[in-house]
Amino acid sequence: MDAFVWMIALPLAATPAVYLAGRATKPRGVIARRAALPVLLATWIAFALAVADFRADGVASYSLGTIVLRCDGLSLLLAALTLALGTLVLIYSGPYLRGEPGQEKYYASLLALLGVMIGLGCAGDLFNLWVWFEAMAVSSFLLVMFYHEQGDALEAGLKYLAQSAVGSALVLFGVALVLAQTGTLDLTAIQAAAVPSETLLAAGALFVIGFGVKVALVPLHTWLPDAHSQAPSGISAMLSGVVIEAGLVALLRALAALAGISTAWGDLLMVFGALNMAAGNLLALRQTQVKRLLAYSSLSHVGYMLVGLGIALHVHDVTGAEGGLFHLLNHGLMKGLAFLAVGALMYALHLTSGHDHRPLTIADLSGAAGRYPLVALALSIAVLGLGGLPPLAGFMSKWQIFVAGFQTRDGWIEALVIFAALNSVLSLAYYAPLVNAVYRREQSAGVQAGRALPLAMTVPLVVLGLAVIVVGVWPGTLRWLAEPAGRALLAAFGG
């Protein structure tokens, strides 16, 4: 069996074992987490072997009955981000969830989520792409609902479930239309058999709406702020840093199969990109709860990804695709760091005081740098990187998208790039108050009464903070992932 198949199989096969290990022993959370760590280590080894195989032999494929899996550059990019953030979240979650009931379910669901997202990136046929997408929705729902005994978390989980179910149903209708029209579900065969028709255009529209729910395309984004703010902070990092991006990969795979029926897919992505940037920034500006602010800012960053990818599809140039996918990686690192840093402050200020799950506000952050300098620095690096300040990672990927846009010599695209640059400046209007708050001299009552942070929560912050700086100073660090992924995407669309 190919190495890339083991990337999928290992976490999925270990999920029930981790759950049972947690149920059979005490303390449940400790045992379940310890059982999950070696599984992720083995998955990292499988990932390294898959990368070596890809460099030596190119795209790998595996078939099991009607299930078709293919591993290309885009698959490896999503797998790398999933494993990196998932491993750090697993380490971080130990002290964060200490004393909470149901931890064995949390760690088992987290492993399942990682496996299905890697599987989604490798899906080679349309039906199983939908199956992986639906499995991602179910496993992430269980994690969003972790604090289900609280009314707000229950409401957020049900809203997430309802909108995900509607999106999945629309995708399934689209799959049925494609099968009826082309007689096949293989993504490559669909592209060869598809001819322009109203039926396939309708299928494409269903894919955009159905997958767009998970990607948080405006106006399909209403689940996002509640789910991000009510989930455990590690899961907020996964939702914003990987789950949204996995939904985008699913959308791109489906649209690539229908690339021959329309030349407007790139234009459509750019339109949604502009909407997401504007709506995300305007909605974030009015937020006082930190996690809701970060959630809304994810809308804006999806917009940058869509603009880069749309430019690439419009002019059939790989630069925009590489820029959009480079920003996908950077956003995962930066937003993961931001949510984990905020979660660390929630732990120190609220959770250690009788499992108080009150939302963290900007006012609560006042003076946090005095007691938690490392967390304050990590949060500052994250939000300034998201705002596009050099020499951090966010600036480099945005710059590559802007360069790709100006290289087109197209007036409308150049105007869109200027609009994107202005939105990047606008985002500092809500990122800067976070930095200002943590470095105030006056400490909030919560900061003054806050507890110390355990090492397991600070190590992921250091790793991600260094990654954001290193990628910003040496952007070529991630080229081995972004470049093959960009080529794979453009090739899938016939470019």
* pLDDT tens sequence for the chain (495 residues): 688 999 999 999 999 998 888 887 777 677 888 889 999 999 999 999 999 999 998 888 888 777 889 999 999 999 999 999 999 999 999 888 887 777 888 999 999 999 999 999 999 899 999 999 999 999 998 888 888 777 777 788 888 888 888 999 999 999 999 999 998 888 888 888 878 888 899 999 999 999 999 999 999 888 888 887 888 889 999 988 999 999 999 999 999 999 888 788 999 999 999 999 999 999 999 898 999 999 999 999 999 999 999 999 999 889 999 999 999 999 999 999 999 999 999 988 876 665 566 788 899 898 899 899 999 999 999 999 999 999 999 999 999 999 999 999 989 999 999 999 999 999 999 999 999 999 998 888 878 887 888 999 999 999 999 999 999 999 999 999 999 999 999 998 876
CB 204 within 8 A of CB 191: no
Instruction: Give me the amino acid identity at 452.
Output: A
Of 269, 63, 12, which Cα lies nearest the Cα of 185? 63
pLDDT of residue 357: 66
The residues facing 67 across adjacent strands are: 64
Alpha helices of 145-289 — where are they, by DSSP H? 151-182, 187-193, 198-215, 224-230, 233-238, 244-257, 265-285
Kindly give, in sequence order, each residue whose CB lies less than 8 Å from that of residue 49, ignoring residues fewer than 6 positions away. 3, 6
pLDDT of residue 356: 60
Supply the pLDDT for residue 463. 96
Q: How much is the pLDDT for 1?
A: 63
343, 234 contact by CB (below 8 A): yes
What is the span of the domain harbouring residue 305?
A: 263-495
State the pTM of this model. 0.95
Closest CA to 404 of 268, 305, 262: 305
- 15 within domain boundaries: no
76: in domain = no
C-alpha pair distances (Å), 485 with each of 78, 308, 462 = 9, 13, 27
239 located within any domain: no
C-alpha distances in angstroms, 262 versus 96, 179, 304, 379?
48, 18, 23, 43
> How far, in Å, CA of 493 to CA of 263, rounded?
10
**In a domain? residue 313:** yes
Q: What pLDDT sits at residue 126?
A: 92
Peptide bond into 27 cis (omega under 30): yes
CB atoms within 10 A of CB 59: 15
Q: Which helix (H) or strand (E) holds 70?
A: strand 67-71
Give the CA count within 13 Å in the CB-facing half-sphere of 397. Answer: 37
Query: CA–CA separation, 194 vs 260, rounded Å?
Result: 7
Nearest to 372 by CA among 294, 447, 449: 447
- Nearest-angstrom CA–CA distance, 352 and 446: 11
Give the HSE-up count for residue 418: Cα atoms under 13 Å, Cβ half-sphere.
6
Question: Could you tell me if residue 326 is inside a domain?
Answer: yes
283/280 Cα distance (integer angstroms): 5
Q: Smallest Cα–Cα separation from 383: which of 347, 426, 337? A: 337
Rg (CA), the chain: 21
8-state DSSP, 146: T
**What total number of domains does the chain contain?**
1
Q: For residues 406 and 248, what is the distance between their CA atoms, to the nearest angstrom?
A: 24
- Report the distance separating Cα 416 and Cα 7, nearest Å: 39
User: In the block, which residue shows the tokens 């149903």?
Assistant: 169
Residue 419 included in any domain: yes
What's residue 343's pLDDT? 92
**pLDDT, position 327:** 96
Residue 300 lies in a domain: yes
> Which position has the token pair 């500052």?
380
Looking up tokens 């996964």 gives: 238
Residue 290 token pair: 């930190």
Question: What is the per-residue pLDDT for 355?
Answer: 57
- On whether residue 208 sits in a domain, the answer given is no
Q: What whole-number distance in Å separates Cα of residue 70 and Cα of residue 48?
A: 16
pLDDT value for 430 = 93
Say what the pLDDT of residue 3 is.
86
